[in-house]
Each structure stands twice: as C-alpha cells, then as structure tokens.
Amino acid sequence: MKIGFIGLGIMGKPMSKNLLKAGYEVIILNRKQSITDELAAAGAIAAATPKEVAKQSDVIITMLPNSPEVKEVLLGENGVIKGAKQGTVVIDMSSIAPLVSQEIAQQLGEKGINMLDAPVSGGEPKAIEGTLSVMVGGKKEVFDKCYPIMKAMAGSVVLTGDVGAGNVTKLANQIIVAINIAAMSEALVLASKAGADPELVYQAIRGGLAGSTVLDAKAPLVLDRNFDPGFRINLHMKDLNNVLETSHEVGVPLPLTAAVREIMQILKVDGMGNDDHASLIRYYEKMAKVEVKRKAEAKIAANK
C-alpha cells in the first residue's frame, strides 16, 4: 500500500519515519527541503504538490498546523482532491476545528474520497517512539482498513464516532493537558516559594491522585529548565482557540480553558510562543518572583 504524507514538522517527520520502518512505501511533501532530503535518504519518495502525492497514493495522511492549511492542501487548486482516485482515503491527523473536518469530508465524499479525522496526542517524544494516542472520527469500515497504518505510528488508536468526533476528542484532550500544566505550575511555584524542594514535592505527589501523564512529562523538564519545544505554546493556543470557538458554537462555557489560553497569550507576547507549553510555569514564576528548578545536589545525583 502506498501512503502519501503531507506535513513533516516536529510530529510529521518521526511519524512518517515510523511508516517507513513498518515497510510502507511513503510519498512525501514538505516545504523544507532539508527534511525532504532526510526522508528521501530513508527511502521516501518526494512529490512536488498535494495533487501529485494523491495520484501516487492509496491513503494520504496530512499533519498540518490548522484548518486553513488543511483545506488548502486537500481542496485547493493543486490539492489532493484534484489527484485522488475514487476509494482513496484521507487521514487528517492535524488538530483542527471539528466543523471544518466535516466540511472537508463532505467535499471529498462527493468525489468518492473517504476521510478520517484522526488528531494525535503525545508530543514529539511519543511521535518518535511510535506510541501516540490517536483519536479517530469516520466510518468504521474505513477505520478498520486504515487501523494498521495508524497503529504503525501509535500505541493507542480509538474510533470515537463519525467524522469530526476525532477532533472533538482532541479538543477535550487539549483542555485537560492545558489545565493540568497550569495546575502543576501553580503547585510547584507554591512549593518553591514556601521553601520546599520542588523535586521532592513532585516525587511525593506523582504516585497519588495528583499524579498524571502530564505531570510526569512536564515536571522533569521544568526542573531541568528545559523548554525546548515538544509541543509549542503557539500550537496549544491554536488548539484552545478551536476549543473556545467550538464551545461558543454549542453553548458550553469554559472559564478555566479561557484563563489558561490568556496566560499563553501573555507568554507569546513575552517572546515564548515557540517554547514548550511547559513554559506556562514561567508566568507563575514571574508573578511569584521565584524559579522552580532542581537543587544543585539533586541535579548531580540525577545525572549519576
């Protein structure tokens, strides 16, 4: 089976590499030539346009920043819709607005092209490991056909409903992740300002009810002052914008989500938009005039 992959950024590049490792023939399209060259050296076939990718592929995966880019790649003048044959499947693994997923699926469906919306969670580390969580919306028979492809990139692949349900699920995921990071930030800033060792506080609470995947992923990065992007603040803001837009459309107030989104806006204005979303803690640190980090002796022990 030939798989097209469009969008080889922080997430897309390792995901496409895992497809190559699984033995699939992968046709790629990306704006950055160095990444295209890297994947071509690993066995991928480079194409010049989404239309060209579609002509060569049975399944096309998109991993793009937001709704406008997905619409352009799939429905534009040189888009996938212009080159895909009937029966082709599009798996959009971007995180976009659910209503846009449904709109795109309808237009593709008129040309006999099936679509799954299948956003992912797990960030760059899990994309590299091939252990992402994939939340899928679409027809069950299409899901079943494409399950092995998605499983080559993921630890968990779950059908959550019709097209659009995948992105609704991702929005719910992003609410929980954002508020978890904010809660962790408040807790560790309080602990540090009150004179406790934040590393020991983290170790003490991680096994109890306050423990979470988010805590285990982000607390060590904060303690090491490592804010290199696994998932950028700018991208999480984009997701929360989609959350709030959708929530307003369906009449659901989300005050905590709105507050965290505004904190991210403050950090973006301060020049941190391309940093990891764990940088939320720096908003609280600035207000409390304290920095959360490992104590020198703990850092030495951790590196032994």
| Domain ranges in the chain with CATH number 3.40.50.720 | 2-162
Of 225, 249, 245, the C-alpha closest to 237 is 245
Ordered alpha helix ranges (H), 132-270: 140-151, 165-193, 198-205, 213-223, 233-250, 255-269
Q: Which CATH fold would you assign to the domain 2-162?
A: Rossmann fold (3.40.50)
Percent of the chain with pLDDT over 90: 93
Instruction: Confirm whether 126 is a catalytic residue.
Output: no
Mean pLDDT for the stretch of residues 18-46: 96
Q: Residues 245-271: pLDDT tens digits?
A: 999 999 999 999 999 999 999 999 999
The whole-chain average pLDDT of the chain stands at 95
Does 299 score more than 80 pLDDT?
Answer: no
Catalytic residue among 17, 51, 126, 170: 170
Confidence of residue 300 (pLDDT cuts 50, 70, 90): very low
Most distant CA pair in the chain, distance? 64
| Start-end of CATH 1.10.1040.10 domains in the chain | 168-303
The answer on pLDDT for 302 being more than 80 is: no
| pLDDT at residue 123 is higher than 90 | no
**Tell me: domain 168-303, CATH 1.10.1040.10, correct?**
yes
Block residue for tokens 């951790």: 302
Say if CB 173 and CB 127 are below 8 A apart.
no
What is the rounded average pLDDT of the residues 207-219?
A: 96
SS3 141: helix
